Amino acid sequence: MTTPEVALLGIRHHGPGSARAVAAALAQWRPDAVLVEGPPEADAIVHLAGEKDLVPPVALLAHAVDDPAKAAFWPYAEFSPEWVAIRHAVEHDLPVRFIDLPAGYGFAPAPEDGAEGAAVAEETAEPVADPLALLAEAAGHDDAERWWEDVVEHRAPGTDALAPFAAVAEAMGALRAEGLGESRRDLLREAYMRQQIRAARRAGHRRIAVVCGAFHVPALERMPTVAHDRALLAGLPKKVRTDITWVPWTHRRLSQATGYGAGVQSPGWYHHLFATDGDPVPRWLTRAADLLRAEDHPVSSAHVIEAVRLAETLAVLRGRPLAGLTETLDAVRAVLCEGSEVALELVRDRLVVGDALGEVPDAAPAVPLQRDLTRLQRSLRLKPEAAPKDLDLDLRKETDAARSRLLHRLRLLGVDWGAPARSSVNSTGTFRESWRLCWQPEFAVRIAEAAQWGTTVEEAAVNKAVGTARAAGELAELTGLVETCLLAGLSGALPAVMRVLADCAALDTDVAHLAGALPALVRALRYGDVRGTDHGALAEAASGLAERICVGLPPACVGLDAQGAEAMRARLDEVHGAIGLLAADPAAPSDAAPSDTAPDPDDPGVPDDPADPADLAGLADRWAAALRSLARREPAGGPATGAPGLLRGRAVRLLLDDGRLDSEEAGRRLRLVLSVANAPADAAGWVEGFLTGGGALLLHDPRLLALLDEWLTGVSGEVFTDVLPLLRRTFAGLEAGVRTTIGGRVAAGPLGEPPAVHAAVGELDRARADAAVPVVALLLGIRPRIPRQAAGRDT
């Protein structure tokens, strides 16, 4: 394994036992140069590992300069052997170099002629066997992870720190001799590694330590000729220009086996093994007890002592040298959690995996956009954290408003650091926002991608909004973008977006598209008010859309099928609420913050005259007229000649709720639609639309309930079977209390009359009533007074 010049230290990536062994081997070998498996582009920034502000877990992020979406990560935790080797070299002022195949080859497009370079971009089609699984199977074990823990992770370095690496190299050599587990990409990487070892020798280093995956050691022990390796690497594609930097990483991301994860199932446990001297089980169980106590689980010191005994006993019974994670979790489940899988899952999530987030110094290379984001995070006191965190913002406060703008701008750039959440504070005002923050390591890639739009967060968001508007194909997408621009405070993008919106709205004749676009505009008006944004252009666009909807809605609802009617009903409700807000508040509220600058009349994105308040006030009347017209469009000559019953019934209900239709007229319309002249399916749809949103009106007006009951009991059996799904869906949407009360009313007797009041008070069973007196008195805290007759019977 060793030569007079080179010590090959084969390790398992992110293994705490391997990390301890590497530290002991480097201390014993005392190399004058350290070579580590990793991208050579990182040689220029590896010295930052000595900075106290570079705190693992961290990762090397490499991406193509011309296409930042092409990126790759090399994560390192404190228990990673590569990180231990890097830190040893930096602390002892030794040269440290990365020797893996450069990342720029992996970002190159695959050759169309099927050349060997295609192996750099993707693995071979045949799945490659896991070397550890093959070794575990040869040793008679069915669990590769448990076998590796027993033979490597749980063993402390001995007097000869290089002996474990010799044993691992011998085992891997046996596998490689059979050609097991090899891929074309591995052969290319190993050829490049050998080239770098030769270069270190030529540089005059006499004691070279190479830290690489154990699988590669046999290929690096037997050095072929230089010509052989050059011929193997000749088919590589042209290397892509690449940037690389350090970025924060998380234990949770290390635990993921897909995407940018490393597939370490228990990073929190591994960190504990590496950082703890002596027996790690008692201390880890103590941490688990602290966690469970903080979550109100009754855990005592006696629980911890018994759990330690159980874990050690299980290890003996299973023939293991020490209690591993499996035995420890079994003890936690049985003793600390008392069999509760819910409590055990909490321990797995917080301790076995964990939410550790690394830190990166300011000296690390970064795009200007990333530096501006870091500056804003510090000034707004928004620290990135891997654990989810709820944040409530009061937009009337300057700092909270700035935080809101930052989060909305990042969402526009595709960095979903914050997601809108349901507020824990009961408030319906537009001045409050709630977010759930959770920082993900891959956001570094998205920030690099977004850097094409600008050097600051605001500039990038403005340019991204304008570019998105010009590429938008639907009106609803544009109105949603307008709302986002207002939420994000992008006044520089709003004129351009409004111009595109005006052009698109003028050409779009689909009422459904118009109806889908209006609510977002009205919400933007409300949010604009609380942020002190000039909203003249928005009010003009919103009122124009509303007018076109009022004119085009009734004919647009004719001939719709069931699916189209259901979609239109949802839009009908949204438009009704939007017009109610628009007509109720035609002017900006008096407490809104004034705009810093007056709108420029020469700006084509700003209308010459804002929306007339009188026109907005009359908008509600025009909307009510449109609903009346829709309610009258009955299918006289078949379903294709009128509006579906679902929409007609919904229009009547909206008019009734707004007070533009009295209950007498609503009852008359219900009586007509439930007559024998109408198709039962259309009548059932009308009832569904009428009752959607609440059925309490059937309780307040018994005549409506009586009409519905009379119609339902009068339909034939075949028709009842046809309309039953619609009716069941309708009544399933009502409140549980309303359904119960309606059932009680129907069961009580004839409908349309007030319920009968039973006056048979004289028939009260006093003996049964007297028996309840002591209990009631106890609840009320008074002394019971038992009638003499009852007392006599008791004696």
List pLDDT tens digits, range 339-380: 999 999 999 999 999 888 899 998 899 889 999 999 999 999
CA dihedral 513, 515, 520, 522 (to 10 degrees): 140
Q: Mean per-residue pLDDT for 710-730?
A: 76
Q: Mean per-residue pLDDT for 639-660?
A: 83
Is 60 exceeded by the pLDDT of residue 592? no
Reply yes or no: is the peptide bond before residue 57 cis, omega within 30 of 0: yes
The more confidently predicted of residues 660 and 158 is: 660
Q: What phi, psi does 564 have (nearest 5°)?
A: -65, -35
The more confidently predicted of residues 30 and 499 is: 30
pLDDT at residue 695, rounded to an integer: 72
Count CA within 13 A, CB hemisphere, residue 195: 20
Helix axes 267-275, 280-294, angle to 10 degrees: 130
Q: Mean per-residue pLDDT for 39-61?
A: 93
Maximal CA-CA distance, the chain: 117
pLDDT at residue 152, rounded to an integer: 73
Helix, strand, coil share of the chain (percent; to 5): 55, 5, 35
User: Rounded to whole angstroms, how far apart are CA atoms 403 and 409?
Assistant: 10
Q: Which amino acid is at 568?
A: M
Tell me the two tokens of residue 527: 């949010």
The more confidently predicted of residues 92 and 141 is: 92
Coil, helix or strand at residue 390: strand
Q: Scan for tokens 């999530």, then name that residue.
A: 349
pLDDT at residue 795, rounded to an integer: 36
List, in order, residues 6 or more apart from 754 with CB less than 8 Å away.
Answer: 702
Q: DSSP characters for 118-153? A: HHHHS--SSPPPPHHHHHHHHTT-S-HHHHHIIIII
The model carries a pTM of 0.69
Is 60 exceeded by the pLDDT of residue 428? no
pLDDT at residue 604, rounded to an integer: 37
Contact 436/389 with Cβ under 8 angstroms?
A: yes
pLDDT at residue 609, rounded to an integer: 41
Residue closest to 59 by CA, chosen among 246, 339, 289, 297: 246
The more confidently predicted of residues 658 and 76 is: 76
Q: Mean per-residue pLDDT for 614-626?
A: 77
User: Rounded to whole angstroms, how far apart are CA atoms 684 and 692?
Assistant: 12
pLDDT at residue 516, rounded to an integer: 81
Least confident segment among 25-29, 73-77, 280-284, 517-521: 517-521
Is 50 exceeded by the pLDDT of residue 606? no
Coil, helix or strand at residue 655: helix
Q: Which of 27-36, 319-328, 689-698 has the highest mean pLDDT?
A: 27-36
pLDDT at residue 479, rounded to an integer: 82
CA-angle at 571, arms to 534 and 423, nearest 5°: 60
The more confidently predicted of residues 527 and 504 is: 504
Contact 557/633 with Cβ under 8 angstroms?
A: yes
Q: N- to C-terminal Cα distance for the chain? A: 100
Cross-sheet strand order for the sheet of 6-11: 6-11, 208-213, 33-36, 96-98
The more confidently predicted of residues 773 and 133 is: 773
pLDDT at residue 792, rounded to an integer: 43
pLDDT at residue 759, rounded to an integer: 42
Q: DSSP characters for 748-760? A: HS-TTSPPP----
Contact 357/274 with Cβ under 8 angstroms?
A: no
Identify the helix (H) or strand (E) that includes residue 536.
helix 536-556
List, in order, residues 6 or more apart from 433 with CB less than 8 Å away.
Answer: 392, 393, 395, 404, 420, 423
Cross-sheet strand order for the sheet of 432-437: 389-394, 432-437, 418-420
Contact 58/360 with Cβ under 8 angstroms?
A: yes
Least confident segment among 166-170, 312-316, 424-428: 424-428
Contact 413/446 with Cβ under 8 angstroms?
A: yes
β-bridge mates for residue 433, sequence order: 393
List, in order, residues 6 or more apart from 448 with CB less than 8 Å away.
Answer: 61, 63, 68, 71, 243, 367, 369, 370
The more confidently predicted of residues 360 and 785 is: 360
Q: Mean per-residue pLDDT for 4-14?
A: 86
pLDDT at residue 45, rounded to an integer: 94
User: Rounded to whole angstroms, how far apart are CA atoms 252 and 67?
Assistant: 27
CA 154 to mean position of chain CA atoms:
36
327-336: b (≥16 Cβ within 10 Å) or e:
bbbbbbbbbb
Is 90 exceeded by the pLDDT of residue 306? yes
DSSP state of 116: T
The more confidently predicted of residues 169 and 722 is: 169
Q: DSSP characters for 460-512? A: HHHHHHHHHHHH--SHHHHHHHHHHHHHTT-TTTHHHHHHHHHHHHHH---HH
Contact 563/635 with Cβ under 8 angstroms?
A: no
- Write the pLDDT tens digit of every residue in 501-510: 878 877 777 8
Q: Mean per-residue pLDDT for 682-698?
A: 79
Share of the chain above pLDDT 70, in %: 84
List, in order, residues 6 or more apart from 530 with CB less than 8 Å away.
Answer: 395, 396, 430, 431, 592
User: Rounded to whole angstroms, how far apart are CA atoms 729 and 16?
Assistant: 58
User: Rounded to whole angstroms, how far apart are CA atoms 114 and 184?
Assistant: 13
pLDDT at residue 601, rounded to an integer: 38
CA-angle at 319, arms to 318 and 321, nearest 5°: 120
Is 50 exceeded by the pLDDT of residue 462? yes
Q: According to the 3-state scheme, what is the secondary structure of 687-722?
A: HHHHHCCCCCHHHHCHHHHHHHHHHHHHCCHHHHHH
pLDDT at residue 639, rounded to an integer: 57
Least confident segment among 452-466, 542-556, 612-626: 612-626
Cβ burial of 203 (10 Å; 0-12, 13-18, 19+) is exposed
Least confident segment among 325-334, 349-358, 677-686: 677-686
- Write the pLDDT tens digit of every residue in 256-267: 754 445 568 889
pLDDT at residue 778, rounded to an integer: 79
pLDDT at residue 114, rounded to an integer: 47
Contact 31/209 with Cβ under 8 angstroms?
A: yes
Residue 731 — pLDDT band, cuts 50, 70, 90?
confident
pLDDT at residue 750, rounded to an integer: 65
Coil, helix or strand at residue 485: helix
Least confident segment among 4-8, 276-280, 309-313, 610-614: 610-614
Mean pLDDT, rounded, of the chain: 81
Instruction: Give the other-Cβ count within 10 Å of 515's Cβ.
Output: 26
Is 50 exceeded by the pLDDT of residue 448? yes
Share of the chain above pLDDT 90, in %: 33
Q: What phi, psi does 15 have (nearest 5°)?
A: -105, 120
pLDDT at residue 616, rounded to an integer: 56
Q: Mean per-residue pLDDT for 230-234?
A: 91
pLDDT at residue 690, rounded to an integer: 84
β-bridge mates for residue 420, sequence order: 435
The more confidently predicted of residues 652 and 746 is: 652
Is 60 exceeded by the pLDDT of residue 611? no
User: Rounded to whole angstroms, how far apart are CA atoms 379 and 151?
Assistant: 50
Coil, helix or strand at residue 391: strand
Q: What phi, psi does 47 have (nearest 5°)?
A: -65, -20
Q: Mean per-residue pLDDT for 467-493?
A: 86
Residue 128 — pLDDT band, cuts 50, 70, 90?
low
Tell me the two tokens of residue 185: 């990409």
pLDDT at residue 582, rounded to an integer: 77
Instruction: Give the other-Cβ count within 10 Å of 520's Cβ.
Output: 22
User: Rounded to whole angstroms, how far apart are CA atoms 494 and 220?
Assistant: 60
Contact 9/209 with Cβ under 8 angstroms?
A: yes
β-bridge mates for residue 36, sequence order: 98, 211
User: Rounded to whole angstroms, how far apart are CA atoms 572 and 743?
Assistant: 30
User: Rounded to whole angstroms, how far apart are CA atoms 113 and 633?
Assistant: 66
- Write the pLDDT tens digit of every residue in 745-769: 777 766 655 544 444 445 677 888 8
Residue 136 — pLDDT band, cuts 50, 70, 90?
confident
Residue closest to 474 by CA, chosen among 507, 496, 499: 507
Contact 457/406 with Cβ under 8 angstroms?
A: yes
